[in-house]
């Protein structure tokens, strides 16, 4: 059965209100648990106000302390910005604090915001290679019973056994991001699940079809494919209104404002410095692709469509851009109290 999660990604345009935004994000996590969602997911972006809490590793500790059963995942930790041993220690501590509720979602880092790498003094051209090496080191540190050692391009490390030891053995569950068909196929060949950025339903189906074909071609069993799909997640921006018209009237302006804010810093830095990673805009800029807004019945129908594609879960960003916390909370409540039951009814009817 498809699992539902909340992607807590609060925009913070006004620096003087940072404490307020962060407190609201923590209350959103508490509400997520009370409403019965499976998990919360946390983002990482620096310097631009696109994500109020900025550091998902630190914020995850607060969320785990404020909740009892809610799983907490990263979508994603920008691994290329960290020292891998420090990150392995932090994740191991979080895994203990949550007693196994942690999902270590990892990726190379942003594919759009060059200033995030500049701010950390890391060439963006090194991001992928740093990510791959760092992940290897983290696994060694988590699983080394008598110590760890690594000699690589970016890091040369050698140490005794990592402490604290992970609560989850052999290590916390790791979920990798894939933003292309090539990346998806690569993870499938390794027999690993993946998380997907915002895509249209058509592109989501195509990506999952690629994943299934690549996993079968690599010789993985159907049982392993099924288990892996159950751990795959897709992302949607969601606003649930009382009616379709009300959902579009309220949700669309906040969505468009969010997209504009997320691109403004990137475009300004590119203009001032003449440096950027890519000139392409994210696919979710188009509201027909990037926003799922509708009545409870409409949203339930779309969720049933996604379920039939085969992923294990949908992470949904409910608070879009400058949307007030109470507006997002109302949308979340409509999803939990009306969409979930309608979705379950539709899936049960389809199974008969």
Strands 156-159 and 148-151, by their bridges, are: antiparallel
What pLDDT was estimated at residue 282?
Answer: 56
Residue 90 contacts residue 77 (beta carbons within 8 Å): no
Among the listed residues 250, 236, 224, the one whose alpha carbon sits nearest the alpha carbon of residue 317:
236
Inform me whether the pLDDT recorded for 163 exceeds 90: yes
Report how far residue 42's alpha carbon sits from residue 56's, in angstroms, rounded to the nearest whole number.
6
Overall domain count for the chain:
1
Share of the chain above pLDDT 90, in %: 90
* pLDDT tens digits, one per residue of 256-303: 999 999 999 889 988 888 889 875 555 567 888 899 999 999 999 999
* pLDDT tens digits, one per residue of 294-308: 999 999 999 999 999
CA angle 207, 2, 297 (to 5 degrees): 100
What pLDDT was estimated at residue 154?
Answer: 98
Inform me whether the pLDDT recorded for 18 exceeds 70: yes
Residue 71 contacts residue 103 (beta carbons within 8 Å): yes
Report how far residue 65's alpha carbon sits from residue 72's, in angstroms, rounded to the nearest whole number.
11
What pLDDT was estimated at residue 285?
Answer: 75
How far apart, in Å, are the Cα atoms of 315 and each of 17, 73, 74, 213? 26, 10, 11, 24
Residue 137 contacts residue 157 (beta carbons within 8 Å): yes
Overall average pLDDT of the 174-197 stretch: 95
CA 12 to chain centre: 18
Where do runs of H (alpha helix) occur along 67-146? 84-97, 114-119, 127-143
Residue 100 contacts residue 168 (beta carbons within 8 Å): yes
Rg of the Cα atoms in the chain: 20
Among the listed residues 348, 293, 329, the one whose alpha carbon sits nearest the alpha carbon of residue 37:
329
Find the CATH number of the domain harbouring 59: 3.20.20.30
* pLDDT tens digits, one per residue of 201-238: 999 999 999 999 999 999 999 999 999 999 999 999 99
> pTM for this structure?
0.97
CA angle 266, 269, 274 (to 5 degrees): 115
Q: Tokens at residue 15, please?
A: 């620096």
How crowded is residue 18: how many other Cβ atoms within 10 Å of its Cβ?
14
What pLDDT was estimated at residue 273?
Answer: 87
Task: Tell me the pLDDT of the chain averaged across its residues.
Answer: 96
What pLDDT was estimated at residue 288?
Answer: 85
What pLDDT was estimated at residue 205?
Answer: 97
Domain that holds residue 142: 3-351
Region class of 310: left (phi > 0), else alpha (psi between -120 and 50), else beta:
left
Instruction: Say if residue 187 is exposed, middle or buried (CB neighbours under 10 Å; 0-12, 13-18, 19+).
Output: buried
Report how far residue 333's alpha carbon sits from residue 293's, in angstroms, rounded to the nearest whole number.
14
What pLDDT was estimated at residue 324?
Answer: 98
Overall average pLDDT of the 318-340 stretch: 98
């Amino acid at each position: 059965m498809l699992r539902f999660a909340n992607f807590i990604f609060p925009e913070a345009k006004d620096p003087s209100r940072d404490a307020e935004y962060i407190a609201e994000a923590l209350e959103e996590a508490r509400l997520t648990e009370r409403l019965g969602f499976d998990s919360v997911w946390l983002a990482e972006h620096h310097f631009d106000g696109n994500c109020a809490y900025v550091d998902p590793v630190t914020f995850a500790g607060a969320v785990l302390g404020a909740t009892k059963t809610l799983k907490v995942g990263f979508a994603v930790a920008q691994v290329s910005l960290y020292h891998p041993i420090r990150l392995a220690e932090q994740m191991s501590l979080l895994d203990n604090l949550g007693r196994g509720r942690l999902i270590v979602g990892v990726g190379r880092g942003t594919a759009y915001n060059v200033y995030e790498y500049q701010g950390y003094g890391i060439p963006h051209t090194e991001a992928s290679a740093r990510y791959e090496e760092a992940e290897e080191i983290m696994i060694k540190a988590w699983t080394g019973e008598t110590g760890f050692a690594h000699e690589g391009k970016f890091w040369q490390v050698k140490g005794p056994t990592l402490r604290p030891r992970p609560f989850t053995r052999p290590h916390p569950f790791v979920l990798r991001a894939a933003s292309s068909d090539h990346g998806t196929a690569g993870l499938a060949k390794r027999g690993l699940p993946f998380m997907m950025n915002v895509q249209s339903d058509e592109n989501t189906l195509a990506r999952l079809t690629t994943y299934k074909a690549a996993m079968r071609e690599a010789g993985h069993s159907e049982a392993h494919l099924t288990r892996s799909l159950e751990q795959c997640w897709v992302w949607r921006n969601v606003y649930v209104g009382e009616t379709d018209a009300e959902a579009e009237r309220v949700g669309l302006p906040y969505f468009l404002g969010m997209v504009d804010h997320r691109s403004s810093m990137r475009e300004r830095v590119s203009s001032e410095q003449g440096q950027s990673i890519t000139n392409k805009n994210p696919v979710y800029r188009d509201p027909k692709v990037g926003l799922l807004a509708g009545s409870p019945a409409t949203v339930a129908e779309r969720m049933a469509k996604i379920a039939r594609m085969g992923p294990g879960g949908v992470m949904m960003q409910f608070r879009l851009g400058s949307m007030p916390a109470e507006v997002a909370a109302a949308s979340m409540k409509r999803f939990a109290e009306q969409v979930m039951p309608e979705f379950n009814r539709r899936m049960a009817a389809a199974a008969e």
